Structure 1
Amino acid sequence: MTPSHALEQYKGDLLSSTREWTNLHDDELKRRAVRAAGDKDSAELVSLTTAYLAHGGSSGVLTSPRTVEAYQLGTRQFVEYAEQNAVSLLKPGRHMAQGYVNWMLAQGRKPAGVQLKVAAAGCLYRALRWAGATEADPFRDVRVPKDRTPGIIKRPPYTESEIADVLEGADVHIRFLLFVTAHGGLRISEALALEWDDIDEDARRIHVRSGKGRKARMVAMSQSLSEAARAYRVTHGPGGPEFGAGRRATPPQRVFRYGTAPTARYHLERAFKAAGVEFRGFHPGRKYAGTRLLQQIKDFGRVAAHLGHESVDTTRKGYARLAADDLKDDLAGW
């Protein structure tokens, strides 16, 4: 991807992005959208899609930054495809949408990833219809093959030995983050949003104030996670040595120094590399938490609650599994 097509960093000001378009008179809104689609102006179409997402999307201006970024990237990629394949955005052919899907699949993209790109392209067309630029709805009946392989098989959890190897050489910062994701089961966005008042080592619980879908939950801490939290608070928390005389005067509200997920990924990836373990992202840590907890309590509902899943099916398909011979002890006396 060239610099000109680099994803714009999400600034969090969705309201301003929306007003840039909603403040326009209907005729001007339509004219501007028609021109952007006719010119295949990627920046303008991303702006329009973002505005629509914040104005007409299910979460409105509370749409998560990751969702906004994913739709922005998906819109850019679709516009690039349209430009390279002489696709008319305002009057697309009836085979265009399925052709886009088939092209992505032929490029080796997984069905789940293709579905995300289709969602972004579909949002672009909802935005164009919202602006009055077109009545076209090419992605309405598009078909994306289902991937029958469970997510936990495609992207398995870290193993016990992998986690142990990384922890052995990790500093207190990395140790705490790894325990938060691999024992607490927090998403990286949830972990980076933690504030010091959210962590209670004595009660061994973490208050996740804004999980996925803006849902709060209380997360139980393992003994190891609690000990890592205490050690981290001593060195990095309020009253710690970093904030003594001649040092920083005011401790930050946020627990982790990493301001963004890419920054956290950079540091965690270095720790994994030093331990000789392949870093496969943050989710295998959550999957480790789900799988280990399920093997211990054998209750998908409680595991789903620990991970913050609304549906047990999400946990069952992608985050936790029992060993193939899990029933052998139960069947021993038959």
Structure 2
Amino acid sequence: MAHFPGARYAAPHVMTLVQYQGNLLSQTREWTNLHDEELRRRAVKAAGEKDSPALVSLAVAYLGHQGGSGVLSSPRTVEAYALGVRQFVAYATEQAINLLRPGRHDAQGYVNAMLAAGRAPAGVQLKVAAAGCLYRALRWAGATEADPFRDVKVPKDRTPGIVKRPPYSEDDIADVIEQADVQAKFLLFLTAHAGLRISEALALEWQDLDESARRIHVRSGKGRKSRIVAMSSSLGRAARAYRTQFAPGGPEHDTGHRTTPPERVFRYASVMTARYHIEKAFKAAGVPFRGFHPGRKYAGTKLLRQIKDFGRVAAHLGHESVDTTRRGYAQLAADDLKEDLSGW
């Protein structure tokens, strides 16, 4: 991982990042319950002292109170913004930046430092979004009028996402399925055939699976959008096998450590736990595990080459914009037009 000035200061606070306590509403109320003058005083004090935990708390409160998704912001979004605020505060501490009265070159200097350290433009954009959120929070609290990230420039990365992070190959998927147990096989098919995000797969309930109609009802899609997803024949068989073992009344339903309600399909809700289970199959197959997203990209690419319709592929993957599918999730073969041009 590339480092940039100030990154080392983020390490002592990493544990607090994952201690997501309570709901976002309760965290928001820690600041919104204050009188305006006390809100301003605390924000000014936190910024003046570069108190990272307090500034993270303020930014999260603003995100939950006035952010685009408000209190419905996902924990992963909150964590990503929290980490971004920590890293910017660490950089500001190292560079002796006055958070309440930043210099006109300070924000762009932060961007340039990250780029010079080798961070990808897309990653830098996420850090800029977090730092910008901090300043919106400070303005909301009445601590400053500064808006240093309003005009910063982050170069566009012209390399398509599917090139930078390609899908698993056909052989990869076949080899892993051969080594996978019932649970890992079902999870792999959900990502690599149904194209589900790992968060969508882990949120599934038994009532969401309709093996006879070969349909999945995704209720917790990105942006809180639901959709109906078709099952492949292989996924339908894997779903039936999984239900036989793990559904209520099945031999494996009450065995092992369950951290989710009984109506949930999977007994665990953590991505890290899901990764632990499926990595065993990848390791046995000798295939490097690169995360769950390459499985979604496999689904997108295979479906696009079969139906040649970006719109239908976007709907299958739950993308609001076809451009998202085109840039990062599905790719036609370089000689895709070969048959169409053969009679010219």
TM-score by length of 1: 0.96
Aligned match of 2:13: 4
Asked if 2 retains the 8 angstrom alpha-carbon contact of 1:237 and 1:251, the reply is no
Query: Structure 1: which 5+ runs fail to align?
Result: none
| Matched position secondary structure for 2:96 | coil
Q: State the alpha-carbon separation in 2 of the partners of residues 153 and 4 from structure 1.
A: 34
TM-aligned CA distance change 1:244 to 1:163, over 3 Å? closer
Task: State the Cα distance separating 1:12 from its structure 2 match.
Answer: 5.3
**Structure 1 ranges of 4+ moved more than 6 A:** none
Q: State the AA in 2 paired with 1:233.
A: R
TM-aligned CA distance change 1:78 to 1:251, over 3 Å? closer
TM-aligned CA distance change 1:97 to 1:69, over 3 Å? same
TM-aligned CA distance change 1:244 to 1:61, over 3 Å? closer
| Matched position secondary structure for 1:219 | strand
Q: State the alpha-carbon separation in 1 of the partners of residues 50 and 254 from structure 2.
A: 56
Task: State the Cα distance separating 1:118 from its structure 2 match.
Answer: 0.2
Aligned match of 2:191: 181
Q: State the alpha-carbon separation in 2 of the partners of residues 41 and 5 from structure 1.
A: 15
Q: State the alpha-carbon separation in 2 of the partners of residues 12 and 283 from structure 1.
A: 28
Task: State the Cα distance separating 1:11 from its structure 2 match.
Answer: 3.5
Listed one character per residue, the Cα deviations across residues 1-25 of structure 1 (whole Å, up to 9, x for unaligned) are 5343432332450100111000000
Asked if 1 retains the 8 angstrom alpha-carbon contact of 2:41 and 2:143, the reply is yes
Q: State the alpha-carbon separation in 1 of the partners of residues 22 and 172 from structure 2.
A: 36
2:241 pairs with 1:213: no
Task: State the Cα distance separating 1:267 from its structure 2 match.
Answer: 2.3
Aligned match of 1:305: 315
Task: State the Cα distance separating 1:148 from its structure 2 match.
Answer: 0.2
2:130 pairs with 1:120: yes
Q: State the AA in 2 paired with 1:65.
A: P
2:294 pairs with 1:295: no
Q: State the AA in 2 paired with 1:168.
A: E
| Matched position secondary structure for 1:24 | coil
Q: State the alpha-carbon separation in 1 of the partners of residues 274 and 252 from structure 2.
A: 20
The 5 A counterparts of 1:11-30 are 11=21, 13-30=23-40
Q: State the alpha-carbon separation in 1 of the partners of residues 87 and 58 from structure 2.
A: 15
The 5 A counterparts of 1:1-334 are 2-6=11-15, 7-11=17-21, 13-243=23-253, 252-334=262-344
Task: State the Cα distance separating 1:243 from its structure 2 match.
Answer: 4.7
Asked if 1 retains the 8 angstrom alpha-carbon contact of 2:111 and 2:154, the reply is yes
Q: State the AA in 2 paired with 1:2.
A: A
**Between Structure 1 and Structure 2, how many residues are aligned?**
332
| Matched position secondary structure for 1:185 | coil
Listed one character per residue, the Cα deviations across residues 173-197 of structure 1 (whole Å, up to 9, x for unaligned) are 1000000000000001100100000
TM-aligned CA distance change 1:162 to 1:81, over 3 Å? same
| Matched position secondary structure for 1:128 | helix
| Matched position secondary structure for 1:46 | helix
| Matched position secondary structure for 1:206 | strand
Asked if 2 retains the 8 angstrom alpha-carbon contact of 1:155 and 1:284, the reply is yes
TM-aligned CA distance change 1:240 to 1:5, over 3 Å? closer
Task: State the Cα distance separating 1:244 from its structure 2 match.
Answer: 7.7
Q: State the AA in 2 paired with 1:51.
A: A
Q: State the alpha-carbon separation in 2 of the partners of residues 182 and 152 from structure 1.
A: 15
| RMSD of aligned alpha carbons | 1.7
Listed one character per residue, the Cα deviations across residues 246-304 of structure 1 (whole Å, up to 9, x for unaligned) are x99x9711111222112212222232122111111111000000000000000000000
TM-aligned CA distance change 1:40 to 1:129, over 3 Å? same
Q: Give the share of equivalent positions with the same residue, in percent.
A: 77
Listed one character per residue, the Cα deviations across residues 292-318 of structure 1 (whole Å, up to 9, x for unaligned) are 000000000000000000000000010
| Matched position secondary structure for 1:2 | helix
Task: State the Cα distance separating 1:64 from its structure 2 match.
Answer: 1.3
TM-aligned CA distance change 1:311 to 1:243, over 3 Å? closer
Query: Structure 2: which 5+ runs fail to align?
Result: 1-9
Task: State the Cα distance separating 1:35 from its structure 2 match.
Answer: 0.5
TM-aligned CA distance change 1:212 to 1:243, over 3 Å? closer
Asked if 2 retains the 8 angstrom alpha-carbon contact of 1:178 and 1:285, the reply is yes
Q: State the AA in 2 paired with 1:309.
A: H
| Matched position secondary structure for 1:218 | strand
